[in-house]
C-alpha cells in the first residue's frame, strides 16, 4: 500500500497554521487569515495568492492536510488492523484525534460549509476524506460498491464528527462509543428485514450519487 502524498503550497500551509489560533475568535474570514499572515511574516498579497477564494480555500486546505496526516499516521502504526471494518474505525479515530487541537476552528468551519453556497465544496471535501480512508484501507475497486462504500462511510463519518464536536469530555470516550454504534448499525444491514434494507440501500444510493459527482479518479 503506497502513500500517495499531495504537495501543498508551503506558504499557504504556514499562513493557515498561524491563522488557526485566530479563527475561534474571528471565524474563518479575511481578518483571521491576515492576522495569521502577519504573525508569520507574510503580507496581504501572500494571503490573496495562497487563498484566492478566501476563507473557503483555507478551510479546504485544512481538511486536506488533516486527510494526509490521517493517512500518514495510519501508515506509521507499528500494528494495523487486519479486518477492513477495524481499519476504517482506526482511520476515523485518527482523523478526529489529529483534529482535536483545532476543534473550535473546525466547529466554525462546519458552520461555513453548511451554508447553501458551500454545498458543493462540503460534499467534495467529504468525498475526499472518505475516499482517503478507503484507499488507506486498501479498498481501490471501481465496481458499483465503490460509491456505496463511500456513501455509507460518508454518513457514518459525518454523524461521528458531529458527535465529536459536541463531545466536551477530556477524552473521546463518548465519540468512540457513538462511532462503534454506527459501525454496528452498518454491520447489521445484511440481516435487516427487506423493507429496512431497501430503505438503507436508498440512502446509500442517494449519498453515493452526491459523492459520485466529485470523484476525480477511481484507481491507479
Structure confidence at residue 170 (pLDDT):
76
Residue-wise pLDDT tens digits, 111-168: 999 999 999 999 999 999 999 999 998 876 666 577 778 888 888 999 999 999 999 8
Task: Report, as ranges of residue numbers, the positions in the chain whose pLDDT lies below 70.
Answer: 1-5, 140-144, 188-220
pLDDT at position 218 is: 34
Report the pLDDT value the prediction gives residue 73, as an integer from 0 to 100.
97
pLDDT value at residue 168: 87
What is the 3-class SS of the chain, one letter each residue? Answer: CCCCCCCCCHHHHHHHHHHCCCHHHHCCCHHHHHHHHHHCCCCHHHHHHHCCCCHHHHHHHHHHHHHHHHHHHHHCCCCCCCCHHHHHHHHHHHHHHHHHHHHHHHHHHHHHHCCHHHHHHHHHHHHHHHHHHHHHCCCCCCCCHHHHHHHHHHHHHHHHHHHHHCCCCCCCHHHHHHHHHHHHHHHHHHHCCHHHHHHHHHHHHHHHHHHHCCCCCCCC
Q: Does domain 10-212 have CATH number 3.40.50.300?
A: no
Q: What is the pLDDT of residue 185?
A: 80
pTM for the full model? 0.82
Residue 212 has a pLDDT of 43
pLDDT at 142: 63
pLDDT at site 31 = 97
Q: What is the pLDDT of residue 1?
A: 47
Distance between CA atoms of residues 175 and 164, nearest Å: 5
Do residues 125 and 60 make contact, with C-beta atoms less than 8 angstroms apart? yes
Amino acid at each position: 500500500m503506497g502513500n500517495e502524498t499531495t504537495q501543498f503550497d508551503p506558504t499557504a500551509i504556514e499562513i493557515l497554521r498561524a491563522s488557526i489560533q485566530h479563527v475561534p475568535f474571528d471565524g474563518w474570514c479575511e481578518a483571521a487569515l491576515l492576522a495569521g499572515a502577519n504573525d508569520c511574516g507574510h503580507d496581504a498579497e501572500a494571503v490573496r495568492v495562497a487563498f484566492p477564494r478566501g476563507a473557503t480555500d483555507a478551510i479546504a486546505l485544512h481538511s486536506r492536510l488533516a486527510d494526509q496526516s490521517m493517512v500518514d499516521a495510519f501508515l506509521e502504526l507499528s500494528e494495523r488492523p487486519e479486518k477492513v471494518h477495524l481499519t476504517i474505525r482506526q482511520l476515523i479515530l485518527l482523523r478526529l484525534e489529529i483534529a482535536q487541537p483545532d476543534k473550535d476552528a473546525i466547529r466554525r468551519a462546519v458552520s461555513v460549509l453548511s451554508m447553501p453556497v458551500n454545498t458543493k465544496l462540503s460534499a467534495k471535501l467529504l468525498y475526499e476524506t472518505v475516499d482517503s480512508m478507503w484507499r488507506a484501507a486498501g479498498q481501490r475497486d471501481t465496481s458499483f460498491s465503490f460509491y456505496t462504500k463511500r456513501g455509507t462511510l460518508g454518513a457514518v463519518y459525518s454523524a461521528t464528527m458531529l458527535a465529536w464536536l459536541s463531545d466536551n469530555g477530556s477524552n473521546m470516550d463518548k465519540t468512540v462509543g457513538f462511532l462503534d454504534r454506527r459501525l454496528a448499525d452498518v454491520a447489521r444491514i445484511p440481516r435487516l428485514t427487506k423493507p429496512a434494507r431497501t430503505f438503507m440501500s436508498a440512502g446509500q444510493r442517494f449519498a453515493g450519487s452526491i459523492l459520485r459527482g466529485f470523484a476525480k479518479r477511481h484507481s491507479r
